[in-house]
Amino acid sequence: MKQNKPEGNGPRPTMRFSAAEAPPAKSAAAAPAPVFGKTQAQLPSKADGFTFAYLCERLPSFVQTFVYREVEAMTQLGMKPFVVSIRRPDDPPEMAVTMETPVFYMPEGGEVRTKIDKDRELGRLPFRLHRTLPKHRSTTDAQRMFEAAWIGPILVAAGIRHVHAHFGGIAARTAWWLKKLFGLTYSFTGHANDIFCDNDFPVKNAMLVKDAKFVVTETDYSKRWMEEKHPFARGRIFRVFNGIRMDDLPQASHPGGVPKIVSVGRYVEKKGFPDLIKACAILRDRNINFTCEIIGGGEMEAELESLIFRHNLGDRVTLLGPRSQAEVRERIASARVFALACQREKDGGSDNLPTVIMEAMAIGVPVVSTRVAGVPEMIDDTKTGFLVAEHDIPAVASALATLLTADGLSARFGAAAAAVARERFSAASSALELARLLVQNSKVDAPASLEAAHPEFRLGFWRKLTR
């Protein structure tokens, strides 16, 4: 299975709704400038005491909220990560998010190459990099090598020895080059299509897994999948659920009136919106009173609009398009049920642990979804919602009908869902688990406060030496 999702400088497989421009790139030596409501991190030094580096393709991002929440929760633990983003955020202004932790933004691609080529011409590059550069500069995805060549000396000078990336994509492949060129170790968190689908780049998924200190996946399903796909990595693959912040979510309002179904996601194959729309047609034919709002945007919008028209659902189902994070959450809070009919894509990709399901549960809204990938690890069937088979449209309709019509059931399931979300999907708990993996499996030291509070962070001399 090849991963045909676009990367590089082309369109990225996330929700882009406008051509909002990011601020112009600054060089590494430029003074810190305000970025998205906060400040850009300055060049690090050993005196800063950074314990490791986060390396992200684009941070923060509206469609990857779990990443910046983890970074901030890790900072609150006292782990002091140096946070690097290869690219600047490009969310539309109305959807832009900010984060408290400063982020160090690398220059744009052309500037990175120019700097490295100039340093090679002047003989400033380390021997290994000087020798490697001509061999790979014209290969597919060579930009990852240049990015590593640019950021590597900065990390080494700051005493940073380990890098953690999110997604087995651009950032992880840059981390792979950091190991090859500078000897830094790396780990990464794999999420969904980035691990389920192979890529066409010289640095393959198997190479990323083989050379990583350890790999994190977000579900037990994907952990088992990776162990079967990469048996050489058994014992180095760990499950850590993505986490969400519970304190900034609204609570379910259980309004009266016409009961509402809400669904959220990019208008792409794996979200299963055609199945949801067809299930809504069944509900209408059964004379069940409801409305359905589908929030998002993407390549299937025209197809979905056509499907709504063909089923004469214009007065029941609405494609709302993109909305701000705050509005999305408020609309979920006003729903009787949240629905996401996840399905596997033709190339093998799928959702794994949809963040929006976590948020709906934490808000206190029951969820109807499918038994795809890690979704069954989120929803307790018949307790916090309903799980049905993939593409079983009548079953989707039946589950929705039950929650739309049974008195008090939505509120009861919703309360149970909120309790499960607090127990399984806390950002603080997830960050603590990842911190433990970093300390026990790589040369990342825990602060004294963390060692005092959690004995598993205290390692003996030999254990530290052999990490």
Nearest-angstrom CA–CA distance, 66 and 351? 14
Tell me which amino acid residue 130 is: H
- Examine residue 442 and state whether it is found in any structural domain, yes or no: yes
Integer Rg of the chain from CA = 23
pLDDT at residue 155 greater than cutoff 80: yes
pLDDT at residue 173 greater than cutoff 70: yes
Q: Is there a single domain that holds both residue 417 and residue 438?
A: no
Q: Is there a single domain that holds both residue 309 and residue 195?
A: no
pLDDT tens digits, 276-293: 999 999 999 999 999 999
- Examine residue 11 and state whether it is found in any structural domain, yes or no: no
The encoded tokens of residue 58 equal 């684009």
Q: Is there a single domain that holds both residue 228 and residue 287?
A: no
Q: Is there a single domain that holds both residue 224 and residue 349?
A: no
Q: What angle separates helix 65-76 from helix 427-441, to the nearest 10 degrees?
A: 70
Q: Is there a single domain that holds both residue 142 and residue 209?
A: yes
When the pLDDT of each residue in the chain is averaged and rounded to a whole number, the result is 89
Q: Is there a single domain that holds both residue 83 and residue 163?
A: yes
pLDDT value of residue 193? 86
Q: What percent of the chain has pLDDT over 70?
A: 92
Write b or e for each residue in 195-228: b if 16 or more Cβ atoms lie within 10 A of its Cβ, otherwise e.
bbbebebebebeebbeebbbbbbbbebbbebbbe
pLDDT tens digits, 295-333: 999 999 999 999 999 999 999 999 999 998 899 999 999
At residue 437 the predicted structure's pLDDT band, cuts being 50, 70 and 90, is very high
Average pLDDT over residues 111-136: 93
298 Cβ contact partners less than 8 Å away, ≥ 6 residues apart = 15, 266, 267, 268
- Examine residue 386 and state whether it is found in any structural domain, yes or no: yes
Q: Is there a single domain that holds both residue 360 and residue 450?
A: no
Nearest-angstrom CA–CA distance, 262 and 332? 6
pLDDT at residue 132 greater than cutoff 60: yes
Nearest-angstrom CA–CA distance, 393 and 396? 5
Q: Is there a single domain that holds both residue 358 and residue 440?
A: no
From 344, 281, 341, select the one nearest 316 (Cα to Cα). 281
- Examine residue 369 and state whether it is found in any structural domain, yes or no: yes
Q: Is there a single domain that holds both residue 225 and residue 275?
A: no
Q: Are 385 and 417 in contact (CB under 8 A)?
A: yes
Q: Are 105 and 27 in contact (CB under 8 A)?
A: no
Q: Is there a single domain that holds both residue 325 and residue 405?
A: yes
pLDDT tens digits, 60-112: 887 788 898 999 999 999 999 999 999 998 887 777 778 889 999 999 878 99
Q: Is there a single domain that holds both residue 238 and residue 376?
A: no
- Examine residue 364 and state whether it is found in any structural domain, yes or no: yes
User: How many independent structural domains does the chain possess?
Assistant: 2
pLDDT tens digits, 22-73: 333 333 333 333 334 355 778 899 999 999 999 999 998 877 888 989 999 9
Q: Which residue has the tokens 């039946």?
A: 398
Nearest-angstrom CA–CA distance, 281 and 395? 13
CATH number at residue 314: 3.40.50.2000
Nearest-angstrom CA–CA distance, 434 and 190? 13
- Examine residue 14 and state whether it is found in any structural domain, yes or no: no
At residue 256 the predicted structure's pLDDT band, cuts being 50, 70 and 90, is confident
pLDDT at residue 6 greater than cutoff 60: no
Average pLDDT over residues 365-393: 97
Nearest-angstrom CA–CA distance, 355 and 351? 10
pLDDT value of residue 172? 98
Q: Are 393 and 278 in contact (CB under 8 A)?
A: yes
- Examine residue 9 and state whether it is found in any structural domain, yes or no: no
pLDDT value of residue 90? 85
Distance of CA 304 to the CA centre of its chain: 25
- Examine residue 82 and state whether it is found in any structural domain, yes or no: yes
Nearest-angstrom CA–CA distance, 437 and 467? 11
Average pLDDT over residues 438-463: 90
pLDDT value of residue 409? 97
Domain that holds residue 282: 260-424
Tell me the DSSP string of 49-67.
---EEEEEEESS-GGGHHH
Q: Is there a single domain that holds both residue 70 and residue 189?
A: yes
360 Cβ contact partners less than 8 Å away, ≥ 6 residues apart = 262, 332, 335, 338, 367, 417
